[in-house]
Amino acid sequence: MHILIGILTLLGAAAFWWYRVKYIGEAANEVIDQAGKIRGAYRRRKFRKKSDGSVLTAIEDPVTAVAAMMVSVAQLEGPLSAASEKVIRKHITSVSNGHDVEEEFVFAKWVCDNVVDPNNISMKLAKIWTSALDRTERLGLIDMVRQVACADNEPSASQLDAIERLTERLNVSQK
């Protein structure tokens, strides 16, 4: 009889601790879910704040401006292709300096949904680039945009025109 009581005691203790661990796990999951909701609310607020007013005036960072320019040039000939998207993400990563690449890419696509013409983007954002980037960095920016235009095949005349206007607005010559 005492062996049966010992086994029941062990089973009861195991059930008690299993329930406690399960309860702690559920509580941890709830905390993680709440943290995710708070993080999402913060990002939405930040995005909303960024997008208040004019779309292009919300851009103050050269990295965000470059991302928007690359997406705009890539979308001149139709929807964004997988190859163009891959090149754009690679370039955003290379110049991001701690920026969230996915956030920059999504924001750039949103900007390009509202401002279709890359010439408008280069005209409005050239001041950001000329004040924040030196000549070598501006040439690199033009090269990145050119690589995005060449991601699928040879760049179209409208893409080449947009790159040429960008070059003029950045006050650099391709010599």
- Please tell me whether the overall predicted TM-score, pTM, comes out greater than 0.75 for this model: no
Quick one: what percent of the chain has pLDDT higher than 90?
Answer: 25
Q: What are phi and psi of 174, to 5 degrees?
A: -90, 50
Do 96 and 67 touch, CB atoms closer than 8 A? Answer: no
Contact 55, 115 (CB under 8 A): yes
Contacts 24+ apart (CB under 8 A), 34-37: none
Residues in the chain: 175
Kindly state the average pLDDT of the residues 74-101: 86
**Average pLDDT for residues 26-31, to the nearest whole number?**
90
Whole-number pLDDT of residue 54? 66
Mean pLDDT of 89-99: 85
Binning pLDDT at 50, 70 and 90, where does residue 42 land? confident
- Residue pair 112/87 in contact (Cβ under 8 Å)? The answer is no
pLDDT tens-digit map of 153-174 = 888 899 999 999 999 999 886 5
Rounded CA-CA distance 163/171 in Å is: 13
